[in-house]
Structure 1
Amino acid sequence: MSKLVYNEMLKIVRKKRLWVIAAIIAVLVALFTYAQYRETEELRKRLGTTDWRTQLQQQIVDLQNRLQSPSMSEEWRKYLQIRLKQQQYYLEHNINPSAPGAPTFMRTFIENAIDLFLPLLVMVVAADLVSSEASAGTIKLLLVRPVKRWKILLSKYIALLLSVSLIMLMAAVLSYAISGLVFGYGGFRLPLLTGFVQQGEDLNTANVHMIPQWKYILIELGLAAFVSVVVGTLTFMFSVLLRSTAAVMGIMLAALISGAILSNMVSSWHSAKYLFMVNLFSAKFSICF
């Protein structure tokens, strides 16, 4: 089995998919780092101070202004209302939730990439694990060997799980290393609040407690890995059932994009919570609490 897994990993590496994914992450992290740096500088110039309390107060005002928009969906409005109460809680308890540093950037990057960006990267690897070999005819070379078919599929799936782990590692390391050049590498012990419980439109703070940022980042990475494994498993299933890699990617792209549409447009449809793609976007919101 180990030789089969090694062989599958060699195939993935030779396709250079992981190298392309690493390059994409590096470029996007560099762009996001620059964008956040410019945003911080613009906010500092606009407010005339670097005091985080003043900046947090401005963010609260911005959230209040956004909530006045009549065209906003109820789901997003509820999220912003809870976010507003969180920011007010931070201000009242004199806690800076966005202290500059590479760990803070990494936390924010993973939080925003968990619903669509990371699943798309995993889908790129998983889409043609089986379908490409079936369409090219190379799968016959594997089937004529004295190896059971379930072992072949299992080795491919294990290779997929290893690839997911590598993608998570690349996202964490590159976001930390690149953003640290601008914001510095300190901040892993920054205290963060967690334990917020949503009760309708209210926010229950009875169980709020502080944890170090490194622990919060590990929780985020664990959730991101879980989401990626779910998407990768479904993509792998379609790759087994279909011979066309394009069809597999089309189905999964439609599923991921429809999740964003459903979560924003049909928030009153309670049965939608049983659809996996809707819960990908719920994961992003739940980790904030």
Structure 2
Amino acid sequence: MGNLILNEWIKVIRRKATLCMIGIMILFVIGFGVLTKFMDSQTPAPENNNWKQTIEKQLENDRSSLEQTGANNANLKMYYERQIAIKEYQLKQEIPPQNEMHMWTFVEDSQALITFAGLFTIIIAAGSVSSEFSWGTIKLLLIRPLSRSKILLSKYVTILLYGLFFLTILFVLSAIVGFLLFGAPADTVTYLAFANGEVVERNMAIHLAAQYLLSSADVLLIATMAFMISAIFRISSLAIGLSLFLLFTGNTATMLLASKFEWTKYLLFANTNLTVYFDGVPPVDGMTLSFSIIVLIVYLAIFHTLAFALFNKRDIAA
């Protein structure tokens, strides 16, 4: 199995298209850094002398919002309780908000580029099986004394590794570019998280790495769907087109439906943004982290069942 995965990795990395994707990702990060540096120079960070008064004012607004909407919406209640606890902790421990731009704030802003990492992963996933048919190399794979399931699984594992590879490039390069353009923070920066009813301080680098992984859940699911379409229909253009359409429109359409229909919580894109359970509000009242994870697992199981079942039964034309 390890040799199969290594073989798939080498095949993909040797393609000129893959090297172009890596180059484009590097250029995107550098370009985003230069643009952010220019915008930061045009709008200097405001003075932070009266930050306590600002936090106290925000606390008043959060408490008022909790009284008005928290009783009718469990998710909003959880959100405002979290915000109130964090702001009270800031005042008690005298931790001012971070207004200055530094390497970690740039890494956080660079999460906007995860979509491009997902785009490249989807392209690789869409062509993973269909390209074997179009190039006529599928027979060379299937004549090996290995089951079709193992061959297909090795391709899927390689796709996951490439997705992680692009995320790693984005995270590490963002940290490097952020350090070169904005420097390291003057003081130790920690992330204030609300967990198990209390506020805890977490390492910023570890927190951002976790955020990158959580933010890529939709990429994983759509890449899996592209892989399924590639395995079933052998048409990479169909897999790429449908997957990209869902990547760029799925979240927006789901949010519009979520405001009117409760059944939206069972849709794929209502559950892919797992970060809302830590820093935001779920799209539908009553949704929980465990619920979203179960829904995502169900979708993954459906995609894999279709892909493996139909690929194993399909005849390979001469």
Q: Flag whether TM exceeds 0.5 (same fold).
A: yes
**1:118-267 correspondence to structure 2 within 5 Å:** 118-186=117-185, 189-195=188-194, 207-224=198-215, 226-267=217-258
**Partners in 2 of 1:118 and 1:53 — Cα distance?**
40
**Structure-1 residue corresponding to 2:315:** none
**Partners in 1 of 2:172 and 2:277 — Cα distance?**
24
**Partners in 1 of 2:277 and 2:151 — Cα distance?**
37
Q: Which runs of 5+ in 2 are unaligned?
A: 62-75, 281-318
**Structure-2 residue corresponding to 1:277:** 269
**Partners in 2 of 1:118 and 1:285 — Cα distance?**
21
In the TM superposition, residue 5 of structure 1 has moved relative to its aligned partner by 1.5
Instruction: Look at both structures and tell me which one has the larger radius of gyration over its CA atoms.
Output: 2
**Structure-2 residue corresponding to 1:13:** 13
Would you say the 8 A contact 2:86–2:194 is kept in 1? no
Q: Which runs of 5+ in 1 are unaligned?
A: 65-77, 198-205
In the TM superposition, residue 172 of structure 1 has moved relative to its aligned partner by 1.0
RMSD between superposed Cα atoms in Å = 3.4
In the TM superposition, residue 91 of structure 1 has moved relative to its aligned partner by 7.4
In the TM superposition, residue 86 of structure 1 has moved relative to its aligned partner by 9.4
Q: Which has the higher contact order (CA 8 A, sep 6+)?
A: 1
**Structure-2 residue corresponding to 1:72:** none
| Amino acid in the other structure paired with 1:148 | S
| Amino acid in the other structure paired with 1:183 | F
In the TM superposition, residue 101 of structure 1 has moved relative to its aligned partner by 2.0
**Partners in 1 of 2:101 and 2:152 — Cα distance?**
45
**Partners in 1 of 2:83 and 2:254 — Cα distance?**
20
**Partners in 2 of 1:102 and 1:226 — Cα distance?**
24
Query: What percentage of residue pairs aligned between the two structures are identical?
Result: 27
Question: TM-score, normalising length from structure 1?
Answer: 0.74
The 3-state SS of whatever aligns with 1:195 is strand
**Partners in 1 of 2:276 and 2:258 — Cα distance?**
14
**Number of aligned pairs?**
256
Question: TM-score, normalising length from structure 2?
Answer: 0.68
**Partners in 1 of 2:85 and 2:226 — Cα distance?**
36
The 3-state SS of whatever aligns with 1:208 is strand
| Amino acid in the other structure paired with 1:31 | G
**Partners in 2 of 1:285 and 1:35 — Cα distance?**
28
Q: Would the alpha carbon gap of residues 22 and 189 (structure 1) be closer, same or farther in structure 2, given more than 3 Å must change?
A: farther
Would you say the 8 A contact 2:25–2:117 is kept in 1? no
| Amino acid in the other structure paired with 2:30 | A
**Structure-1 residue corresponding to 2:109:** 108
| Amino acid in the other structure paired with 1:252 | S
**Partners in 2 of 1:263 and 1:179 — Cα distance?**
34
Would you say the 8 A contact 2:118–2:163 is kept in 1? no
The 3-state SS of whatever aligns with 2:171 is helix
**Partners in 1 of 2:144 and 2:254 — Cα distance?**
47
**Partners in 2 of 1:17 and 1:193 — Cα distance?**
41
CA deviation map 1:158-200 (0-9, x unaligned): 2112212211211111111112111114579412212289xxx
| Amino acid in the other structure paired with 2:126 | A
